[in-house]
Amino acid sequence: MADGLFAYAVQLAPARPPLNSFVPLRWQRDRPDGPPNVVFVDRAVGPEGLLQVLEAGCGLLTAMVRTVSPQVRAFHAYGVSDPEGFAAMGVVETLVHTHDVAAGLALPWAPPADLCDRALARLFPEAPRDTDRWPTLLWATGRAELPRHHRRAFDRWHSAPLRSEEV
């Protein structure tokens, strides 16, 4: 999660953000079967250090979204996005991966409905609006079933800025 938040913030940071590629960071794997990342946490710091790095990633993305013009556009693999889109992507990544961690530890967890609603409206405008927001976000990302709706396989979200008629 921290790596994704950092990467989203970095995309918005250049004076002229790239529109056709990621900022050229050096991505590497910590282990052969692991994901390529830029941000790594020293295992010796334990969970507290991991959470501190996650908090730093959230802070970086928040700062970038608050300081760059809403008209800024930057590359994302799902389509060129605006600061609001990168903020929503960070929210979705944080919520669904926190869900994944909580599920792996058999802990109950659910975020505020209004946060889910804003992320759904921005990244999944096609999502049903008459359903509970958290289960709908899990459905939109392919993590859960939603009553009266076909199981969805997550393909991508809507990164491009929304036109007023899509909201």
Confidence of residue 165 (pLDDT cuts 50, 70, 90): very low
pLDDT digits (tens, 9 = 90+) for 6-30: 999 999 999 999 999 999 999 999 9
| Backbone angles phi and psi of 37, in degrees to 5 | -135, 165
Q: How many domains does the chain have?
A: 1
Q: What does the pLDDT average to over 131-156?
A: 93
Do β-strands 36-37 and 28-29 pair in parallel, antiparallel, or remain unpaired?
Answer: antiparallel
Supply the pLDDT for residue 14.
97
Confidence of residue 164 (pLDDT cuts 50, 70, 90): low
The percent of residues above 90 in pLDDT, for the chain, comes to 90
Give the Cα separation of 146 and 141 in Å (integer).
Answer: 11
Against a cut of 0.95, is the pTM above it? no
User: Contact 118/91 with Cβ under 8 angstroms?
Assistant: yes
Give the Cα separation of 88 and 123 in Å (integer).
Answer: 7
Which structural domain range is residue 51 located in? 2-166
